[in-house]
């Protein structure tokens, strides 16, 4: 689960993530064919999470239904693109340090 969450943050917030706003917020503006392609890519990507969530559910570590949990987890993780600010260089840090992607991953694991 940690690897999946960390990878999601890398995709959302890492370098080369310029496509994320289209995937998350502008997909309705795409043509039907483009939406179908994007939906298939998204579904294939999210399908990798299902066996992990099923195993967690089977071991009672995940109490929510798997498909609902998947949707809620992606909703929470994906919203990070709205508020996340990478850590400032040490010389420019303010009094409240910003979280690294590893810090975000740890917090998401604790939450979920």
What digits encode the pLDDT tens for the residues 53-85? 999 999 999 999 999 999 999 999 999 998 888
The reply to whether 31 falls in a domain is yes
Question: Long-range CB contacts (< 8 A, 24+ apart) of 50-55?
Answer: 52/1, 52/4
Whether residue 10 lies inside any domain: the answer is yes
The CATH number given to whatever domain includes residue 55 is: 1.10.357.10
Q: Report yes or no on 55 lying in a domain.
A: yes
5, 110 contact by CB (below 8 A)? no
Average confidence (pLDDT) over 33-44: 90
Quote the number of domains for the chain: 1
Residue 42, in any domain of the structure: yes
Q: What angle do CA 91, 86, 46 make, to 5 degrees?
A: 160
Range of the domain at 60: 2-86+93-106
Task: Say if 68 falls within a structural domain.
Answer: yes
The confidence band for 96, taking pLDDT boundaries of 50, 70 and 90, is very low
* CA–CA separation, 36 and 28 (whole Å): 11
Residue carrying the six token digits 């994906």: 78
pTM for the model stands at 0.82
The average confidence (pLDDT) of the chain is: 88
- Any idea how long the chain is? 112
């Amino acid at each position: 689960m940690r690897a999946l969450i960390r990878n999601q943050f890398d995709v959302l917030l890492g370098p080369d993530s310029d496509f994320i706003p289209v995937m998350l917020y502008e997909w309705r503006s795409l043509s039907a064919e483009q939406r179908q392609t994007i939906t298939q890519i998204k579904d294939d990507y999210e399908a990798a999470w299902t066996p992990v969530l099923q195993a967690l559910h089977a071991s009672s570590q995940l109490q929510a239904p798997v498909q609902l949990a998947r949707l809620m987890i992606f909703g929470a993780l994906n919203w990070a693109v709205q508020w996340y600010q990478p850590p400032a260089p040490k010389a420019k840090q303010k009094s409240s340090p910003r979280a690294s992607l590893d810090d975000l991953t740890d917090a998401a694991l604790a939450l979920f």
